[in-house]
Amino acid sequence: MITIENEYISADFAAKGAELQSLKSKKHNLEYMWSGNPEFWGKYSPVLFPVIGALKDGIYYFDGKEYQLPRHGFARDKTFKVEQLNQTEVLFTLNQDEETLKSYPFEFILQLHYKISGAELTCTCTVINPADKHLLFSYGNHPAFATPVTAGLKYNDYYLQFNNDSTLTYHKINNDLIDNETLTIVLENNILPLQHKLFYEDALVFKALKSDQISLRNTQNDHGIHYHFKDFPYFGIWAAKHADFVCLEAWCGIADGINHNQQLKDKEGIITLPPDDSWERSWSVTCF
């Protein structure tokens, strides 16, 4: 386990998947991340690359060839190199290898830079194209936050507060693919109360959120998190059935739609990065 810390918070990571597995407040002695209980869902904060969600029939086509990729891609199951490490920062790097090239015919450099400052953890993702052809990819994050954080609270004591949305219009998921059908939730004071039944039919997937901050709070005390994200056009909110966590997932990319033609270049949200170019996005969590 790799740890970075300051006087306010500490964060632990696994080299496998460059995965954030613990985020603790030293001041309050609280753990904000999900426990990773495999009876419900054995991950904590997987990195989604080079695709997000499911591919239609599990396949895509590129340059006339058929390829297969698992749900959310392969980065979450690959061991990253620790390139830099000091007390408050760590840089993880992943490159293509013989195995990835069989399912994803691109050279790439994927870097995840985690840094803590005060009570905030920031993750900056950089994708570099070292090749002489365009790189097609998606990137997303998938952190699972504990609900409850403090003892004695229940799931229904928690709610999500959006900084700039009074209604939520989300797409239904049909056999792991994005349906054209949408549903709308009207919020009171921009608040979505958490209930396990919200996720009985899989994630809530948004294509037009106005918010760039979602706060996880509860009705019993003042402890929670602010989740900040910017320039992520898609968003997912999910929890495993009856599990005590909620995932807040900012995405640059999305699962295939039910009518997708399976061509990677036509995939909704796909990012096309020119040769010798780079791409960057950041998200952060502030603990309180």
Report pLDDT for 83: 95
Report pLDDT for 122: 98
Q: Is the pTM of this model over 0.95?
A: yes
Report pLDDT for 82: 98
Report pLDDT for 124: 98
Report pLDDT for 130: 98
What are the b/e assignments for 193-208, b being 16+ CB within 10 Å?
A: ebeeebbeeebbbbbe
Task: Transcribe 115-160 into DSSP letters.
Answer: EEETTEEEEEEEEE--SSS-EEE-EEE--EEES-SSTT--GGGEEE
Report pLDDT for 244: 97
Residue with tokens 């803590």: 116
Sheet with 2-5, side-by-side order of all strands:
2-5, 9-14, 19-25, 30-31
Integer Cα distance of 247 and 75 in angstroms: 18
Our count of domains for the chain comes to 1
Task: Point out the residues of the chain with pLDDT beneath 50.
Answer: none
Q: What is the CATH number of the domain that holds 146?
A: 2.70.98.10
The single-letter DSSP state of residue 50 is S
Residues near 6 by beta carbon (within 8 Å), at least 6 away in sequence: 87, 88, 116, 117, 118
- Per-residue tokens: 194: 């958490």
Domain that holds residue 18: 2-287
Report pLDDT for 261: 98
